[in-house]
Amino acid sequence: MVLNTHSPATVSTMSYAEAAVLAVQHAMTEDANVVVVGEDVGRGGIFGQYKGLQAQFGDQRVIDTPISEAAILGAGVGMALAGLRPVIEMRVVDFALCGMDEIVNQAAKNRFMFGGQGRVPMVVRMPIGIWDSSAAQHSQSFESWFAHLPGVVVVCPATPQDNYSLMRAALQCGDPVVYMEHKTLWGVSGEVDTAQTATLGKANTLLSGKHLTIVSWSKQVQACAAACDTLAAAGIEAELIDLRSIWPWDREAVLASCARTGHLLVVHEAVQVGGFGAEIAATVAEATACKVRRLGAPRIPVGYAPNLEAESRVSVEAIVAAARKFF
C-alpha cells in the first residue's frame, strides 16, 4: 500500500458519495463555468451524489431537467462547446443508452471533425455494475463500449479517495469524460485526502507480489483484495493493480508488473465476452512472455431473484480458483 504523506489537516473520513459531492463543490467554487445538469440533481441525486449543491450554488448552476437523456446530453454538449464545464448526470449507465448519439457522434467527434476549434470538456456520470435486486435493465457494466470509442476518456473509481481525486482530474480534462461510478459503492467509507491528486490514465498498485499480477477496477477491486488475502495464506503472493482509468489505461504499470511476475489475471464485473479484460490480456501477451487469464461475468442478463443475480457476480472464490490454475 502507498502510505499517505499529506498533511493530516486535509484528511477526513467520508463516503464514496460524499467524496464526489466534495469534488464537484470544490470545482464549482473555483470555476463559475462548472455546472450540473440532470434529473433529480436539485434534491441531491438518487445516490446523494449532489447533496446540498443546489442550495449552495442555486438552480442556475445545479439544473434539474425533464426525463430525456438525449436532451440532457445534447444540452451538455452545447454547454461545453459554449465554454462551460458541465457535469451531466445519467442516474445509471443503463439509462444513458437513450442518449448514445450525443456521446458517440457529437461529444466524442467534435474536436477531431472541426480541427480542434471546439472542445467538449464535460463529465458524464454513468454509474455501472450490478445494483442489488434491480435486475437486467439496471445492472449493466458498459465500460468496454466507451473504451472502444475514440475521443472520450473512461474512468472507473473504486474508492472514496479516487472518487474525489479522479473527479477533480476529470473536471480539469479538456475532453469528454465518461465517469463510471459503481452503483453499490456510494455508502462505502474511507479516508479522503483533498490534497491528493490523481492523473487520468495512471493506475494504483495496491499490493505488491512476486507470483501473480491481478488487474481490476471499480467494485471488483474489493473482491480481488479479499482473494489476494486467501492466496497469500496459500503462499501465492499477488500484486494487485487498480486500473482506475479504462482509457487511457496504464500499460506501463501493467506490463512492468507482468514482466516481474510472469502471470496475469484480469478481473472485471462486466460480461467477459468482449470485455476490456481481453484488451489488457492481448496487450500483455503481445509484449511479454507472461501467461494470461481473464475472468468476467457470464454472458447472461442479470437476474432479479438473488440466486439468479449471484450467477452474474464474479466471486472471491472464483478469483482464487482462476489464480490457482496458474500454479
pTM: 0.94
Percent of the chain with pLDDT over 90: 97
The domain defined by 204-324 carries CATH number 3.40.50.920: yes
Is residue 268 part of the annotated active site? The answer reads no
* 21 touches 53 (CB < 8 A): yes
In this prediction, residue 9 carries a pLDDT of 62
* 251 touches 245 (CB < 8 A): no
| Per-chain mean pLDDT for the chain | 96
Domain at 13-193, CATH class: alpha beta
**DSSP string of 50-79, one letter each residue:** TTTHHHHH-TTTEEE--S-HHHHHHHHHHH
220-233 and 316-324 helices, crossing angle to 10°: 50
Q: Is 76 left (phi over 0), alpha (psi -120 to 50) or beta?
A: alpha
In this prediction, residue 117 carries a pLDDT of 92
- 1 pLDDT band (50/70/90 cuts)? very low
Q: Which of 188, 143, 136 is nearest to 20 (CA)?
A: 188
The amino acid that residue 27 corresponds to is A
- 177 pLDDT band (50/70/90 cuts)? very high
Kindly state the helix (H) or strand (E) to which residue 263 belongs, with its residue range.
Answer: strand 263-271
The amino acid that residue 222 corresponds to is Q
Each residue of 203-248: pLDDT tens digit? 999 999 999 999 999 999 999 999 999 999 999 999 999 999 999 9
- 6 pLDDT band (50/70/90 cuts)? very low
Q: What is the SS3 assignment for 324?
A: helix
Q: Which of 232, 194, 193 is nearest to 212 (CA)?
A: 232
Each residue of 127-155: pLDDT tens digit? 999 999 999 999 999 999 999 999 999 99
Q: Where are the alpha helices (DSSP H) in 109-262?
A: 110-113, 143-147, 160-172, 220-233, 251-261
Q: Which of 66, 68, 9 is nearest to 42 (CA)?
A: 66
Residue limits of CATH 3.40.50.920 in the chain? 204-324
- Please report, for the chain, how many H helices and E strands are present, in that order: 13, 14
Q: Quick check: 158 pLDDT over 90?
A: yes
* 186 touches 157 (CB < 8 A): no
Q: Which of 6, 26, 138, 263 is an active site residue?
A: 138
Residue limits of CATH 3.40.50.970 in the chain? 13-193
Q: What is the SS3 assignment for 129?
A: coil
Percent of the chain with pLDDT over 70: 97
The amino acid that residue 121 corresponds to is P
- 2 pLDDT band (50/70/90 cuts)? very low
Each residue of 269-281: pLDDT tens digit? 999 999 999 999 9
Each residue of 8-25: pLDDT tens digit? 468 999 999 999 999 999
The neighbouring-strand residues paired with 242 are 204, 216
